[in-house]
Every structure is written in structure tokens, then in C-alpha cells.
């Protein structure tokens, strides 16, 4: 009986927390949501679970690495910047911050560590080869780029 009461209370708290998060944050603001829940005493596992539920409710998508990347960094959310002094380089910004760089000469595609790469490792517990596979699919499906090598960048951070 005690376990049942705890489970019901926990579910009610989670529902209230999801509603609070919905009013305060956009689903793409994972870092802010994490910080908010962490300050409330949520564990890493609880934060990931809560964000997963929030992501599903807001996007109607299963919470997995490719869906997260596609939703958070869809082409409509990215600003393309071309520099006449660097004709082979295209920068991609979101919310005014450079987070990706496409090098057409070397076929490297650089992804910001803090904004993108670390999320895959921290939330989905993926290693670099798995992250590169997901980012390759994202490059092909979202930006219609094939033959580019996803590379981790600390430069943007």
C-alpha cells in the first residue's frame, strides 16, 4: 500500500512538473530545463525521464537521438552565414550563436560540443562513432549533404 501511495504521488508531481516546464520552457531548451530540475533536487535519471516525457508531449515524436537532433536543429531553426573571405565555409547559427560549420573543401562538418555533441553523450550515453552515425543521417536528411564527416568542435563553446 505504501509503494502504491508513493507511486501515485510521484506521478502527480511529475504531471505538475511537466505542466510547469511547458509554461516556462521551449522543448529545445534542454540545458535550462536540466538546470531548473537539478536545482529542485532531481537526479540525472529523473531529469532525463522528465525531459523525455516533455519531448514526447510537445513534439509527438519518440525521444531518440535522431528525433531530438531533427526537431531541435531543423533547417527552419538555423541561420546560414556565408563569409566572402571564406568561400568554402558556411556557418550555421541558432538563436544568434554559431553551432555548426560546413567546410566544402575538406568535407568536414563541425558540430558544437556544448550545444550538440555533449547532449548525445550525456543524455543518450552514446560514444563518438555512434554520434557521428546519427549526425551523418541528420546531415543527409535535414541539409541534404552527403559525404561530409561530422567532427566535434570545441571552437564554438
The model's pLDDT over 137-154, given as tens digits with 9 standing for 90+, comes to 999 999 999 999 999 988
d(CA 51, CA 53): 5
Residues paired with 90 in a beta bridge:
82, 102
Phi, psi dihedrals of residue 115, rounded to the nearest 5°? -75, -35
* pLDDT tens string 75-93: 998 999 998 999 999 999 9
Would you list the domain boundaries of the chain?
2-62, 71-153
* pLDDT classification of 28: cutoffs 50, 70, 90: confident
Determine the Cα–Cα distance for residues 132 and 119; give it in Å rounded to an integer. Answer: 13
Cα 97–chain centre separation: 15
Q: What is the pTM of this model?
A: 0.81
Q: What angle do CA 137, 58, 38 make, to 5 degrees?
A: 90
pLDDT tens for residues 101-124?
999 999 999 999 988 999 999 899
Amino acid at each position: 500500500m505504501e509503494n502504491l501511495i508513493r507511486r501515485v504521488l510521484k506521478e502527480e508531481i511529475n504531471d505538475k512538473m511537466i505542466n510547469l516546464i511547458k509554461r516556462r520552457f521551449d522543448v529545445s531548451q534542454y540545458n535550462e530545463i536540466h538546470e531548473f530540475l537539478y536545482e529542485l533536487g532531481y537526479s540525472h535519471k529523473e531529469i532525463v525521464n522528465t525531459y523525455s516525457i516533455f519531448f514526447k508531449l510537445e513534439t509527438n515524436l519518440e525521444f531518440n537521438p535522431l528525433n531530438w537532433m531533427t526537431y531541435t536543429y531543423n533547417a527552419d531553426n538555423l541561420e546560414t552565414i556565408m563569409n566572402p573571405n571564406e568561400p568554402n565555409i558556411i556557418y550555421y547559427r541558432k538563436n544568434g550563436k554559431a553551432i555548426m560549420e560546413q567546410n566544402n573543401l575538406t568535407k568536414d562538418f563541425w558540430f558544437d560540443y556544448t550545444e550538440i555533441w555533449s547532449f548525445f553523450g550525456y543524455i543518450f550515453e552514446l560514444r563518438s562513432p555512434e554520434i557521428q552515425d546519427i549526425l551523418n543521417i541528420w546531415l543527409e536528411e535535414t541539409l541534404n549533404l552527403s559525404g561530409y564527416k561530422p567532427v566535434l568542435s570545441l571552437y564554438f563553446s
